Amino acid sequence: MTSPSDYDRIGFKVAEILPFLEQCGVTLPRGDAGSVPEIGPAERSAPDWVKPFISRRKFSLIQAAAFLAGVDLDTPGYFSDDEQAEIGRWRDTLADAVDAGEIEATTWSTDREREQALSHDSIRLWCQRYGYDWPIPEVDPQPVISAELLAENRRLNAEVERLKAELTEAKEGDSMADHEFWPEELDDCVSVWRAAAQRWKPTDGKTPKTVVEEVIDELHPGIEDAKKKRYSAVCNWDKDRNRKARTKE
């Protein structure tokens, strides 16, 4: 509804109204040509009344038209003729875009303005395409952390802690190797064990002891049998004493 007034249809010439207002004690700033200087467009900001609509997925045709016209349909009172006309122009433009398939919308039966729902995302893209200012701001989406990502993050953190522990242990081992009482044979055994542990594979058909002794022969060719047995006993991590018995069976 509107409340028509004759004053809505009255206009004044700037060159005539300014001197009259000055005679009445009202002084307005003049531009270069004696007119009121134009004020440059201010940075556009969304009015508070559009904030409840930021998360909405659909709008009725009349709602979308009112948004583009800059009119709050929930404002109490009457709309001026200019507001009604602006809403009507946007309503027709939006309806034309829907009919042309440029904006996604639902069907309607008797009252298109209120029954037909337009997609919010589709309206926004349509406005961007034609350079229209859609007043409802687009909220930056917050990152969603899934349960899988959280579990993977926990796993990686645990792996980091494990590697830190291994590094600390390795550093401590290196420092022990510099100890004045560190046996030379123990240093040899550590080298043999590391090489054998990297080489041995359960699918090769060799026992860890066999691989250990192969490494001993490679690293210490011509080693004494007694010394080789000591190295093998220390480096062999497979201490299954029942292996021979099971093999014979």
Q: Mean pLDDT by 10-residue block, N- to C-terminus, for the chain (249 residues)? A: 51 69 71 51 61 89 93 85 93 94 93 92 94 86 73 83 73 62 79 88 89 90 90 86 49
Please check whether residue 25 lies inside any domain of the structure.
no
The predicted pLDDT at position 245 comes to 45
Please check whether residue 19 lies inside any domain of the structure.
no
The predicted pLDDT at position 67 comes to 92
Please check whether residue 41 lies inside any domain of the structure.
no
Taken in order 204, 209, 212, 216, the sign of the CA dihedral is negative
Question: What letter does residue 117 receive in the DSSP assignment?
Answer: E
**Pair (118, 191) in one structural domain:** no
Please check whether residue 85 lies inside any domain of the structure.
yes
Query: Distance between CA atoms of 232 and 128, rounded to whole angstroms?
Result: 77
**Pair (61, 125) in one structural domain:** yes
Q: Which residues contact 120 (CB under 8 A, 6 or more apart)?
A: 56, 57, 58, 59, 136
The predicted pLDDT at position 178 comes to 65
Please check whether residue 152 lies inside any domain of the structure.
no
Cβ pair 212, 192 in contact under 8 A: yes
| Alpha carbon of residue 98 to chain centroid | 31
Which of 95, 115, 130 represents a domain boundary (last residue)? 130
pTM reported for the whole predicted model = 0.41
The pair of structure tokens assigned to 234 is: 């220390």
The predicted pLDDT at position 249 comes to 45
Residue linked to tokens 């404002």: 75
Q: Which helix (H) or strand (E) holds 59?
A: strand 58-60
Query: Distance between CA atoms of 200 and 156, rounded to whole angstroms?
Result: 28
* Count of helices and strands (H, E) across the chain: 10, 2
Please check whether residue 54 lies inside any domain of the structure.
yes
Count: domains in the chain: 2
The predicted pLDDT at position 49 comes to 77
Q: Which helix (H) or strand (E) holds 119?
A: strand 117-119
Which of 99, 130, 161 represents a domain boundary (last residue)? 130
The predicted pLDDT at position 68 comes to 93
The predicted pLDDT at position 40 comes to 47
Range of the domain at 97: 48-130
**Pair (121, 188) in one structural domain:** no
The predicted pLDDT at position 242 comes to 54
Please check whether residue 210 lies inside any domain of the structure.
yes
Please check whether residue 104 lies inside any domain of the structure.
yes
- Among 42, 41, 14, 43, which residue's Cα sits nearest to residue 28? 14
**Pair (52, 118) in one structural domain:** yes
CA angle 71, 73, 76 (to 5 degrees): 105
